[in-house]
A and B are shown apart, each in its own frame.
Chain A
Amino acid sequence: MISREFNKTYFGPGSIALMVAGILFLCQPRIAFLHARSVLVMLIGLIGFNISVHIPPPEQAADEDDIGPVSISQTLAAGGGHD
């Protein structure tokens, strides 16, 4: 089970990094070992990414100072505002 925090911090970005690395391994002209394993790296990244996007983001802690959206018309109707 992958925690939401772990997914956001490491798993999601790690999957993207693996996909990019796989593409670079496939197209680089120097090291045959990397080229031969590039598809595997891309597949791991692709599967990881698809798992990662299905995990919901971590819940954000409620800000006590945040009073939510403010309506000017409602505030004036309630007798608030500058006199």
Chain B
Amino acid sequence: MTRRILVVHAHPDPTSFSHGLFDLVIRVCGEVGNEIRVHDLYESGFSPVVSANEWSLRGAAPSTKPHLASYFDDVAWCDTLVFVYPTWWSGQPAVLKAWIDRVLANGVAWNLDETTGQVMPTLRNVTRIVVVTTHGRSKSANLLCGRAGRTVVVRSIRRLCSWRCRTHWLALYSVDRSTRFERDRFKQRVERILRRIS
């Protein structure tokens, strides 16, 4: 089955390991005839903050934010979300957090039920979420700190998607001290999982 894959990437340095993972994801996903769209947030100069204007429009229709229209379209189009980023301070880099804050907006990812005040998810098209990330610290240190970035994806974003959406968390821990062998093995793992789901 061919999939419609949206890859979201945030890393300032195009020569970094994280960017290498991004290139790998693009290559593997493209091989088997999937459709891919890419949001390389640093390359496109995505604004890292929710502006005061956007905040006052948080309850308004997506058409009031024409500068984000192409991002909204891609999110509504895809059936697989792939995030590739380095974990900093146990969360997403600010630019990627801004993508989550700004693009997963009212009318795109959720609607508000007027009577109950609850969020009604609208990203029913998304059935897979894949996260490819690197942690500077060990897995045990991350567990101790509560894995804040993971909570944002597997609880908050997952909740907006299809009820049968599956999440795949592919993380390389202690990347600063990792050997070349470990990094290559991680790349193979990413490749294997992506082949399996696509």
**A, B in one complex:** no
